Structure 1
Amino acid sequence: MPSAAQPSILPARPRVKPEVMSPVGGPRQLRAAVEAGADAVFFGVEGFHARAKVGFSNEELPEIMRGLHERGVQGFVTFNILVFDRELREAERQLMHLAQSGVDAIIVQDHGVARLAREICPDLPIHGSTQMSITSAEGAELARRFGASRVVLGRELSLRDIGRIAAATDIELETFVHGALCVSYSGQCFSSEAWGGRSANRGQCAQACRLPYDLLVDGQRRELGDARYLLSPGDLYALHQVPELVNLGVNCLKIEGRYKDAEFVALTTAAYRKAVDEAWAGLPLSVSAQEERDLEQAYSRGLAPHFLSGTNHQTVVRGRAPRHRGVRVGTVRGTTERGVLVELAEEVKPGDGLVFDPANWRTPEGREEGGFLYGLWQGGRQVETVRPGELAELRFGRGAVDPARVRPGDPVWRTHDPALGARVRPLVEASDPVHTRPVTAHFRGHVGEVPALTLTDEQGRSVTATLPDPLAPARNRALDEAGLREQLGKLGGTGHHLAALTVDLGGPGFLPVSALNALRRDAAERLTARRGQAPERRVAPRLDDVLREGTTPQPAAHDPQPRLHVLVRTPEQLDAALAQRPDSITLDYLELYGLKPSVERVRAAGIEVRVASPRILKPTEQNLQKFLLSLGAGLLVRSGGLLEGLQGAPDLPALTGDFSLNAANVLTTRALLDLGLGRVTPTHDLNARQITELASLVGPERLEVIAYGHLPVFHTEHCVFCRFLSQGTDYTNCGHPCESHRVALRDERGRAHPVMADVGCRNTVFEGRPQVAGAHLEGWLAAGLRDFRLEFVHETPGQVAEVIRLHRAALAGEVGAAELEGHLAALAEQGTTQGSLFVPQEFERLPALPVL
């Protein structure tokens, strides 16, 4: 288990008590979250969310929201995918339904959809999803431009990074504290798109990061031992960092796991509920060893604070296995004819689910031995318990475990503990409310007047209930505060508890207990109904108006010459590109020091020059903006934070927005163009036909499309170079092996995918095969597109020159599509692919969005 939090960080903004937000995939998880004390839950409703297999229906939503509000819990709906042009009308209808159903906020990835939602319902709060790749105050401010009042920060930020952001913006901040980590920055992963046509930005992640890979260093396979799952991070566990997050003024702590079961939701919610309450009260964290073990048992690939506590590339990805491991309970010491000899580190019992972990590098098929424990034996006799440190023979049901496939030294993990379910059952299966919200009560009882009880909840909402008859004088025992507190405090079953009571008694009066109970029930029912009311909101369709308000596409000039833009990543590639004289050259170098002389070389050749920005900029990296501008070159803008930082800057060069800004529809593309971009490269989530349709909506002259390039399948803070080619923890002590070695990851199909580091030490894993648009060039040209980019990764200077020559010939009509594709396939060592540009047959089901 991880140790305590890092050294204290000074508060950056007013201290607030953060919400505890829980994941909900269905009704059982919803109940578990509420009873465990969640302040808010997040879930999906039918389409347009990133966990397509779970969630609720549109019909269920109003009742779900009413129930949540009655219990004082907020409901946030995930609308966190990129939306295509053909879906905008359906998206508008769905946004209207969410607003009318009383959802407390929508969590949005798509900037254009965020702006549309604000137009449809100005009263509906918008939260910028972590898939907006927000890692700086500038990135948060960009989300605010599009209507966001809160942003979910990237999971790669440290406590110090969060503190810097909190000090620089007053927008609400939300951060993940528990659950699975993606190896890629959210919103910047295209592995599912590249290898299966399933976009992670569309809720269809295929989890290619959880697969094993071989590491190729300078063309040679590097032995990884038990770390073949080198892109599969451990899970986030930040319970010990809660006090720091409270001090930093973070508004919401978020638990990941909409695919997890109700037991996971109950345990994690209860743990973070208690931690927040203790931190807010100034008390030390009181988590017990059993509570930590329960969290590990519920679901764990290995729990740690990871990036929150700072960068250590040796620990984020252990690489031994990609699955739930739970609690380690022992080590294999041998086998018997009927079982396995295990030195136990934890108590185990019949019914436990155990797995013997061989580290799958020794079992290529990936199969693991394990099953439910039948019994324990010592000295040939069955025993009930075995103390930690002792040896025991573990036996399983017939055929469950093959002892021949279990080896001495293998760790033994308990992946299922039946006792854990029993411990959380009161939260998961509660019939009456377990977690209650405070109310204050005021009783007025004057003889001769009707008695009245006013209840007020924690948000200041009040209701008053009265009895039909005036209060009669007391004959024997008169009403007093102690008796009233006893009867009015009986709020069991209501979801409330009495926090304070004031009384106003006028004369000795009397009420029977039955009347007091009736008054209490009436007031509690009124308060519950009041809390459950949906907010009144202004909701109106606005899509057509928004489309009309945008820039009208200008018809392209008659048959202008196509332009070739080339992106290179090494000085050797630059030499080849200069000789081919494309219309522009973009420099995307690992080392910034090499940029200035290369910029001068391109400019001296009379060719337009651009430099590419990093895709991610953390708070201390925003000063890169000054350096990039000092080069006097055009900018290929890849970071939303950088785009925001450039707003209002004087004497800006030509700006082009890259694919990483995730322009998937006309609304987002126009919005980005309005921020000073001359052209935008559509997201890799669009196929070739969608790019053509987007060109008709924004004007083909406003798009720059990638005709040749390697899809950036993973973009990750985790550095493979540091992890496997050094003993260091980060750039300060790794020796910079990225500057002297070429690295690639070979998948189970035998394809090698190059890995490159950027100036921030972030790694990009590129699809090994170049993605080519040869089959679509004719259609793109007919649509008026004229700006085509060719991007190179590990190509030789000779390959660079030939790819440029072939595309110039194809755009001039000298080489047909089939011939172009054939030459490119022969040129590439692993062949080529259409990749994300492929147009599936089902694409035609939705009508195209007309140009207004």
Structure 2
Amino acid sequence: MRKPEIMSPAGYWPQLHAAIEAGADAVYFGLTHFTARAKVGFTLDELPEVMKTLHRRGVKGYVTFNTLVFDHELRAAATALAEIAAAGADAIIVQDVGIAALARRIAPDLPIHGSTQMSITSAEGVALAARYGVSRVVLARELSLAEVAAIRARSPIELEIFVHGALCVSYSGQCFSSEAWGGRSANRGQCAQACRLPYDLIVDGQHRPLGAARYLLSPGDLAAIDEMATIARLGVSALKIEGRYKDAEYVAITTNAYRRALDAAWAGLPPDLTSTDRLHLEQVYSRGLGPHFLRGTNHQAVVEGRAPRHRGLLMGRVVRVRSDAILIAPEPGREAAPLKPGDGVVFDAADWRSPEEPEEGGRIFTVTPVGDGLLALTFAKGAINPRRIRAGDLLWRTSDPQTERVARPFVQPAAPVRRQPVRVEAIARAGAPLKLRWTLVDRPDLTVTVQSSEPLTTAQNRPLDEATLRDQLSRLGDTAYQLAELAAVIEGNPFVPVSLLNQLRRQAVAAFAELQGQPPAITIHDPVRALDEMLAAVAPAAPPDTTQLHLLIRSPDQLAAAIALQPDSITLDYLDLEGLKPALAQVRAAGIAVRIAAPRVLKPEDERVVRFLRKLDAPLLVRSTGLLEMLRDDPAVELTGDFSLNAANILTADLLLGLGLQRLTLTHDLNADQIAHLAERIGGSRLEAIAYHHLPVFHTEHCVFCRFLSNGTSYKDCGRPCERHRVALRDSHGRAHPVIADVGCRNTVFGAEAQEASKYLDRWRAAGIAHYRLEFVHESAAQITNVTEAFRAYLNQQIDAAELGRRWRQSAPQGVTEGSFFVPANYQYIPLM
């Protein structure tokens, strides 16, 4: 078992330098393209200098290449991968399995890490990633430490987990809210953070007041600092701190805290963190820190819902508002970091003020004890409006100059804080040159030897001794090294001038920096040729199929209507597993082919679900790479891959189809024209297009039903309100987005409007797409009938696409949208040459 890496984020140079000084073993960062944090990153031209800077300080650099890549970008991606490898990157972090396979073809020696956006939650998902050259996987943040241990026990490659920072409410790689509501894809680095907006809870058609918890999809931030004793021995290879959009102070404070905590835990010692250290960790950035899913499921703890942004430290509660001051009762436990002039604070009035109203806050001018343990706070004239503050409001400290001072040695160091230990072996003999062999303690393969140009003479007065040698060689000043060990052989009373020792020391340091800064020699194949070879190997298009209609329903109430419509198949996406058996029997009795929709997430304990599904002896709609890996060699199970496998280009689509899928639904990140062109290249009969559905905008481990309709913490004690109530989340535009729980009690929030492709169906059919799916959420039997009969009339050429669109607009419960299918007027398809 090796000690895990502390892995820190770097949006740009200030954060990168802060991570180095604060003790990171590795830094991850993006370039200005192909990265899941599109607003920050280095240019490709800067990358060699970035890697040289990191390596000279003994730190690894991992480049995030973690977006889905479209066909027209494949050549640019291939070229960029070759340049990243040539610059000396220690690994790339990818989401797209096609890109992983391409990277392995271009640079077989370049390590590939699977991003958390691969949505991997099981050992089988890890194994599938390993199939395409991935050597490390970043596991989903929704796993408990026990689940991580179970995966570790069966994993053939390295694992990495998040230990600190923001939590997405949706599984990474499974969020389409930005795509649905803003035309910008989270899988393409353009997250719009719709989860951080306020929503109203609608239960059975009625508004359910939530008090202060209006931000019911906005989780607190992860902090695993108190779990470090367990995590250190878990067997994972890296501990990841989230935050490529955060500033250098955040990077410095969090990196240093986790560095010290891990070092202490690895040595079997108590945590090397004081109460003040912990307060600074929370102060520098937090929405409320906690271990959350790492300790297992507790739906009451993940989302507090009062605010979506940085809160810092809770410092007290308003007791009285005077004309000249605000009186607060301090929060217990803040004695180590009390309020003081210069602190930035905000008054939290979520209990009575609407989310749209701005909060009151500013920097404190004076803090005065006034008796009964209360503090009187004053502010500069005009800084706050006391009339917008009430007794009971919470007071949060959002910024603290003292925290900034704690970070300063790492952010603006006068000399390197982090130094690499070196061992020096010295041989000093009269009549022979002085030889110094320098070796990095942590990298014994890195060795530099320097020696004097002339033999040493015999000393007349003060021969060299080990104390003098140690004193001079340890004077490493503002270099990145420190003398840790000295082994000296001194014979014949040699005379060694101090100037010579200084000269050789400087030579050794310069040689070390040069040696460490050189990129490793690795094999890099021509990227264009490598891509062309992969494209040439894509399986030829299958012959066209006759047009088939598939319906997906989610409740027994919809089943009779679906059966009456006699589609080519019916897919059952049920919450209740036991309800599948009678539904299967009814569909089969009607002579209709039937499919079962598998869950999008399968954790180690969900193997019972897989066993149950296999016993049903029905085709499966596969929604996770773990299940695909589990079933790929089973000829008895017919598999169709769903959108959640995130196939966005021809390489990925072909790889997934080659694992035993009969057909594949492409990711919702593609617009309608991209779907058509990919169908033409890979064969329309190999794809299944969704022509009508409610886009699944969030897929989350956090259960809204349990959190807000029960006092329970999990399915074990929640009373299962999901089986008795219909829930929707109403946004600020008045749209009510349905929420449905799956068999694992995970929630999917669906778009209110039905996303429909009528405008593009003629193009799709011309591209050879013959399999079409219509999906329903809360539609009534009448609405299902109207939507399906209109589509069938279109397929039979009884109506045109425009009339189909008109009828769908009339039938959809809350209207329709093109959503992710939308093709902008100025859009021009760029062919893959």
Q: What TM-score do you get using the length of structure 2 for normalisation?
A: 0.97
The CA deviation at 1:762 is 0.3
Kept in 2, the 8 Å contact 1:622–1:642? The answer is: no
Q: Give RMSD over aligned pairs.
A: 1.3
Say yes or no: does 1:549 pair with 2:537.
yes
Residues in 2 aligned to 1:835 and 1:659: alpha-carbon distance in whole angstroms: 15
Paired AA for residue 610 in structure 2 = Q
Kept in 2, the 8 Å contact 1:588–1:612? The answer is: yes
Residues in 1 aligned to 2:492 and 2:156: alpha-carbon distance in whole angstroms: 52
Partner of 1:636, secondary structure, is: strand
Match among 477, 482, 499 for residue 514 of structure 1: 499
Match among 647, 661, 667 for residue 651 of structure 2: 667
The CA deviation at 1:199 is 0.6
Paired AA for residue 553 in structure 1 = A
Kept in 2, the 8 Å contact 1:228–1:361? The answer is: no
Q: Residue 286 and residue 364 in structure 1: after superposition, are their counterparts in 2 closer, same or farther (change >3 A)?
A: closer
Say yes or no: does 1:573 pair with 2:558.
yes
The CA deviation at 1:512 is 1.1
Say yes or no: does 1:586 pair with 2:599.
no
Percent identical among aligned pairs is 57
The CA deviation at 1:538 is 1.7
Deviations 1:389-410, CA, capped at 9 Å, x for gaps: 7223322222221111101010
User: Which shows bigger deviation, 621-630 or 706-715?
Assistant: 621-630
The CA deviation at 1:823 is 1.2
Paired AA for residue 139 in structure 1 = G
Residues in 1 aligned to 2:469 and 2:827: alpha-carbon distance in whole angstroms: 67
Instruction: Tell me the equivalent position of 1:127.
Output: 113
Say yes or no: does 1:448 pair with 2:431.
yes
Residues in 1 aligned to 2:510 and 2:71: alpha-carbon distance in whole angstroms: 46
Match among 532, 536, 546 for residue 517 of structure 2: 532
Match among 14, 26, 37 for residue 23 of structure 2: 37
Residues in 2 aligned to 1:30 and 1:241: alpha-carbon distance in whole angstroms: 26
Kept in 2, the 8 Å contact 1:321–1:360? The answer is: no
Kept in 1, the 8 Å contact 2:198–2:355? The answer is: no
Match among 360, 364, 371 for residue 373 of structure 1: 364
Instruction: Tell me the equivalent position of 1:615.
Output: 600
Instruction: Tell me the equivalent position of 2:450.
Output: 465
Instruction: Tell me the equivalent position of 2:640.
Output: 656
The CA deviation at 1:523 is 1.2
The CA deviation at 1:501 is 1.4
Paired AA for residue 543 in structure 1 = L
Say yes or no: does 1:80 pair with 2:71.
no
Q: Residue 145 and residue 527 in structure 1: after superposition, are their counterparts in 2 closer, same or farther (change >3 A)?
A: same
Instruction: Tell me the equivalent position of 1:180.
Output: 166
Aligned residue runs from structure 1 range 259-658, under 5 A: 259-345=245-331, 346=334, 347-359=338-350, 362-377=353-368, 390-457=373-440, 458-460=442-444, 461-539=446-524, 540-541=526-527, 542-554=530-542, 556-557=543-544, 561-649=546-634, 651-658=635-642
Residues in 2 aligned to 1:256 and 1:521: alpha-carbon distance in whole angstroms: 38
Partner of 1:41, secondary structure, is: strand
Deviations 1:138-168, CA, capped at 9 Å, x for gaps: 1111111111000001000001001101111
Residues in 2 aligned to 1:831 and 1:172: alpha-carbon distance in whole angstroms: 47
The CA deviation at 1:841 is 3.5
User: Which shows bigger deviation, 820-829 or 721-730?
Assistant: 820-829
Q: Residue 545 and residue 578 in structure 1: after superposition, are their counterparts in 2 closer, same or farther (change >3 A)?
A: same
Kept in 2, the 8 Å contact 1:215–1:223? The answer is: yes
Residues in 2 aligned to 1:595 and 1:677: alpha-carbon distance in whole angstroms: 23
The CA deviation at 1:377 is 4.5
Instruction: Tell me the equivalent position of 1:109.
Output: 95
The CA deviation at 1:489 is 1.9
Residues in 2 aligned to 1:26 and 1:575: alpha-carbon distance in whole angstroms: 57
Paired AA for residue 457 in structure 2 = A
Runs of 4 or more, structure 1, over 4 Å off, are none
Residues in 1 aligned to 2:674 and 2:37: alpha-carbon distance in whole angstroms: 23
Partner of 2:17, secondary structure, is: helix
Kept in 2, the 8 Å contact 1:16–1:246? The answer is: no
The CA deviation at 1:360 is 6.6
Match among 786, 800, 805 for residue 770 of structure 2: 786
Kept in 2, the 8 Å contact 1:656–1:680? The answer is: yes
Residues in 2 aligned to 1:583 and 1:165: alpha-carbon distance in whole angstroms: 39
Kept in 1, the 8 Å contact 2:30–2:40? The answer is: yes
Residues in 1 aligned to 2:318 and 2:113: alpha-carbon distance in whole angstroms: 49
Instruction: Tell me the equivalent position of 1:740.
Output: 724
Kept in 1, the 8 Å contact 2:779–2:813? The answer is: no
Deviations 1:367-393, CA, capped at 9 Å, x for gaps: 1001111223466xxxxxxx9x72233
Paired AA for residue 810 in structure 1 = Y
Partner of 1:456, secondary structure, is: strand
Q: What TM-score do you get using the length of structure 1 for normalisation?
A: 0.95
Paired AA for residue 209 in structure 2 = E
Say yes or no: does 1:681 pair with 2:672.
no
Q: Residue 658 and residue 606 in structure 1: after superposition, are their counterparts in 2 closer, same or farther (change >3 A)?
A: same
Partner of 2:415, secondary structure, is: coil
Which runs of 5 or more structure 1 residues have no equivalent in the other structure? 1-14, 380-386
Match among 200, 203, 207 for residue 221 of structure 1: 207
Partner of 1:57, secondary structure, is: coil
The CA deviation at 1:842 is 4.6
Partner of 1:784, secondary structure, is: coil
Residues in 1 aligned to 2:567 and 2:561: alpha-carbon distance in whole angstroms: 11
Say yes or no: does 1:258 pair with 2:241.
no
Partner of 1:841, secondary structure, is: coil
Deviations 1:786-818, CA, capped at 9 Å, x for gaps: 000001111111111221111111112111222
User: Which shows bigger deviation, 134-143 or 602-611?
Assistant: 602-611
The CA deviation at 1:482 is 2.4
Residues in 2 aligned to 1:728 and 1:104: alpha-carbon distance in whole angstroms: 45
The CA deviation at 1:553 is 2.0
Residues in 2 aligned to 1:430 and 1:824: alpha-carbon distance in whole angstroms: 63
Partner of 2:317, secondary structure, is: strand
Residues in 1 aligned to 2:518 and 2:215: alpha-carbon distance in whole angstroms: 49
Partner of 2:49, secondary structure, is: helix
User: Which shows bigger deviation, 279-288 or 122-131?
Assistant: 279-288
Which runs of 5 or more structure 2 residues have no equivalent in the other structure? none
User: Which shows bigger deviation, 294-303 or 595-604?
Assistant: 595-604
Residues in 2 aligned to 1:100 and 1:423: alpha-carbon distance in whole angstroms: 37
Kept in 2, the 8 Å contact 1:360–1:367? The answer is: no
The CA deviation at 1:274 is 0.5
The CA deviation at 1:474 is 1.9
* Aligned residue pairs, count: 823
Residues in 2 aligned to 1:778 and 1:403: alpha-carbon distance in whole angstroms: 62
